[in-house]
Structure 1
Amino acid sequence: MDWYSKLVATLKVLLPLAALALLSTLFLLSRTIDPVSTIPFADEDIRDRMESQQITGPFFSGATEAGDNLSFSAAVLTTGADNRNEANDVTAKVDLVGGTHIDLVADVARLDLRASKMNLSGNVVITTSTGFTIASDVLLANLETATLTSPGQVHAGSGFGDLTAGQMVLSGSRNNGPAQLIFTNGVKLVYDPKQTDE
């Protein structure tokens, strides 16, 4: 038997033994793992999830008595122990009978479904198909009448200039009439004829 055959025969025995030795050290030296400690949730997160109900990606739609269509979606909707609904990263749409379309975005919305009301807060932006872009910190929405009210200051951009006001009310269609956008409480309009010409 030459040296090559002896080497192959020796390796056939030594290599499987080395593999067994490596596997045994893996099991002998491995640490015991606590399965509870590997869950990627803090105690506070688990407690919050147990106390509140959560829906990911909720979507609601409906219509007012006047025929205006409403839709609402959010990233997450939670219902706390006090039965209060709070949604994050909110998007809403209102299609009025008169043909006006309104898009809403806000950071947070608190919904009272029994009273058909929604309070939006945090970077609230309203965009209308008539050319208005309105920014407000707080917006109160009546879902029965498709009425949007900003109790605080609003900033609005339009095709004819920029406008600021202390309050704003956007009412939906009533008695087959058009929607109304009313600014009150210290209205200031900066008229820009260049925007009208464009």
Structure 2
Amino acid sequence: MVAWLKVALPLAALGLLSTLFLLSRVIDPTQAIPFADTEVQDRLLNQRVSGPYYSGTTADGDQIAFVADSVVTPNGFAGASDADNVFVKIDLIGGGTVNVTSQAASIDVANDISDLIGNVVLKSSTGYIVTSELITARVSTLDIRSPGPVFADTPVGELVAGAMHLSTPVPSAPAQLVFTNGVKLIYLPKQVKE
């Protein structure tokens, strides 16, 4: 029985393998890849970059790195570009880091402005976590503003404010995070461990 299986099983395997090639479909390499017409038109009109990475240094020496899922220049025109799922990391020259994430962004390098839109979260290495729906930032220097309401978890408690501004008021000075327009702070003292 074993001697018979030594011959029969390899022959059965060869038979299965040969039918795989004999019964396979013929592929026409000249046939076009199926795309929806709207997708083709969108790709022709809009310039798209997948997984872009940009890094640079501001005039004051802060290092900025920008990553997104994709960036689109609408209608192929120069000017503002739209980005999805944005992550920005800023290494401050005075020490510390600031990380910003948002669902979308509009970036206009020529006019030195970018708008981060939709569930924007700013986290600083000093322990501040600020959320807003819109943050406007300059590209060439550290100047980040939220013109609308912000909610923040801070090292001393929870904070609500009408606006926020992160900047370096004097070159080479430490960055300052300023909250304005009706600031409300709920002070939460830390529990001392015995």
- Does the alignment reach a TM-score above 0.5? yes
- Looking at structure 2, the residues matched to 191 and 140 of structure 1 have their Cα atoms a distance apart, in angstroms, of 28
Say which SS state the counterpart of residue 127 (structure 2) adopts.
coil
Q: Is the 8 A contact 1:94 1:101 kept in 2?
A: yes
**Structure 2 unaligned regions, length at least 5:** 1-21
C-alpha separation between the residues in 2 aligned to 1:192 and 1:114?
44
Normalized against structure 1, the TM-score is what?
A: 0.78
Report the Cα offset of residue 139 of structure 1.
0.3
- The amino acid of 1:137's aligned partner reads E
Equivalent-residue separation in structure 1 for 2:122 and 2:45 (angstroms): 33
- Deviation (angstroms), 1:175: 2.4
Q: Secondary structure at the match of 2:38?
A: helix
Distance change (3 Å), C-alpha of 1:161 and 1:89:
same
Report what 2:46 is aligned to: 52
**Percent sequence identity over matched residues?**
39
Deviation at 1:145, TM superposition (A): 1.5
| Residue type of the alignment partner of 2:56 | G
TM-score scaled by length of structure 2 = 0.79
Distance 2:187 2:98 in 1: 23
Where 1:49 maps in the other structure, the secondary structure is: helix
- 1:172, 1:61 → 2: CA distance? 20
Q: Name the CA shift for 1:59/1:172 in 2 (closer, same or farther; >3 Å).
A: farther
**2:101 alignment partner in structure 1:** 105
Deviations 1:56-98 (A, max 9, x none): 1101111111111111010101111243311101000111111
Which residue pairs with 1:61 in the alignment? 55
Residue number in structure 2 paired with 1:92? 88
Deviation, structure 1 residue 185: 0.4
Q: Deviations over 1:24-67 (max 9, x none)?
A: 9x99xx9xxxx45x61x322211111101111110111111111
What is the 5 A alignment of 1:17-32? none
State the partner residue of 2:147.
Answer: 151
1:193 correspondence with 2:189: yes
| Number of matched pairs | 169
Q: 2-side partners of 1:126 and 1:173: how far apart? A: 19
- Give unmatched runs, 5+ long, in structure 1: 1-22
